Amino acid sequence: MATSRTGAAQRPNGAPQTKVCQFKLVLLGESAVGKSSLVLRFVKGQFHEYQESTIGAAFLTQTVCLDDTTVKFEIWDTAGQERYHSLAPMYYRGAQAAIVVYDITNQVNIYFLYVHT
């Protein structure tokens, strides 16, 4: 997607977008289940074999053009460590969507779904 000098989003053919939508999205889940990897892949198209643990939360944005609409995602990638669980409500307050990420091979991660969702 191109951006004009005025900051207005444009389609690749130069026609201006007609609608802009903004969504707050939060990723929840235990530590080391792949939340940051999913976000990094969506936002930057990258995947790293080793990803540092998130401290607190990471904030990223991604803008996607769908037909005549520009959708801006404000993504909060929350830390999965137990010591940060009390902060989670602060990040998901006002979110339009939440993605819960878990490891299906780990019963502890599945238990997280029942306790924290």
CATH class in words for 19-116: alpha beta
Residue 80 CB neighbour total at 10 angstroms? 25
What residue segments make up the domains of the chain, in order of their start? 19-116
Closest Cα partner for 64 from 20, 108, 18? 20
Instruction: Going residue by residue through the chain, which has 117 residues, state the pLDDT in tens, using 9 for 90 and above.
Output: 444 333 455 556 666 647 999 999 999 888 888 899 999 999 999 888 877 878 778 899 999 998 899 999 999 998 877 777 777 788 788 999 999 888 888 877 677 666 665
